[in-house]
Amino acid sequence: MARVAVLPQKIISQLEKTHLLTVGQIIEKLKKSGNTYNKTSIYRALEKLEIEGKICKENFGESEALYELRKNHHDHAVCTNCDKVVAVECHDHTNKKIPGFQADHHHTTIYGLCDSCVKKS
């Protein structure tokens, strides 16, 4: 049980090294660092971290969910041709109030073509 208790910190450690990771990539990175966990434990740890507000789960189109740390807020740009995802400066600098709603964070995704795909077309 103690091994599973440290799993959330091990996941955070991997996300600090890499911006966005799928569950499969998290499992692979943990294996390479000498740690093996079953998939259910990974999903439970990710869910706990998400509830605690430490990570975000991102879905960009039909690809597999990606996880990232919820610090150093930024938005994402996604290439609609090659699915490349890059972090970009947050475009909501106004911190607008929404009547009848108290926002605590937001996610903005900008879709288009990356420079490489523009050059190819």
Instruction: Report which of 29, 31, 27 is spatially closest to residue 40, judged by C-alpha positions.
Output: 27
Q: What is the pLDDT of residues 16-42, one digit of tens each?
A: 888 889 999 999 999 998 888 989 999
Q: Give the N- to C-terminal CA distance of the chain in Å, as an integer.
A: 53
Q: Write the burial class of residue 26 (CB in 10 Å: 0-12 exposed, 13-18 middle, 19+ buried).
A: buried
CATH of residue 90: 3.30.1490.190
Range of the domain at 56: 2-69
Q: Is the pLDDT of residue 5 over 70?
A: no
Q: Tokens 């190819």 label which residue?
A: 120
Structure pTM? 0.74
Identify whether residues 37 and 95 lie together within a single domain: no
88-99: pLDDT as tens digits: 888 665 566 778
Do 35 and 11 reside in the same domain of the chain? yes
Statement: residue 1 has pLDDT above 60: no
Query: What token pair was written down for 6?
Result: 């440290």
Let me know whether 65 and 81 are in one domain.
no
